[in-house]
A = this chain, B = another copy of it.
Amino acid sequence: MREPVLKTSKVLQIAFIVSDVQAAAEKYARLFGIETPRVSMSDGYEKAQTVFMGKPSPARCKMAFIDLDNIQLEFIEPDENDSDWKRSLEEKGDSLHHIAFEVKGMKKQIESLEEDGAQCIQKGEYPGGRYAFMDTADEYMVKFELLEND
């Protein structure tokens, strides 16, 4: 076997950027006949350490999650600060934003994808782990998120 560019075997999430996370969560909850999931807010800079296009960013988002048997659907509503979430919403409206791969060793995985030609657009911490959005859309037809849970 060849050395992988991205060491993963699991897609953890399919994520959508939306202008109204409550409405999107309600719509999908109705689709599946389940209770509407709770909407939460991402952490501020002090905890999230958000970096957008190489610079610290105060951007936050509202989020809701629906757990299916084998994968999680995520709905993200950007706040007013510049971020990949916000730019995606401005450019494409409500849309599928990324698929999230489970990784271990975030730094190395980002570097490996960068050597492959991708760019790290945004990254940050969340309780229990960290994420990175990689600009893989030209090469792989969709933006990848790397998710490392401790």
Contact = CB atoms under 8 A, between A and B. Distances in A.
Contacts of A71: 10-11, 70-71
User: What class of interface size applies to chain A in its complex with B?
Assistant: 35 or more
A140 B1 CA distance: 38
A139 interface: yes
B33 A2 contact: yes
A128 interface: no
Interface stretch (A43-51, A53-61, A93-101): A93-101
A45 to B, nearest CB: 29
Interface of A: 1-11, 14, 16, 18, 24, 27-28, 30-35, 68-71, 94-96, 99, 116, 139-142
22 contacts: A1-B33, A1-B34, A2-B30, A2-B33, A4-B32, A4-B34, A5-B30, A5-B31, A9-B32, A10-B69, A10-B70, A14-B99, A14-B142, A18-B141, A27-B140, A28-B140, A31-B140, A70-B70, A71-B71, A94-B141, A96-B96, A96-B141
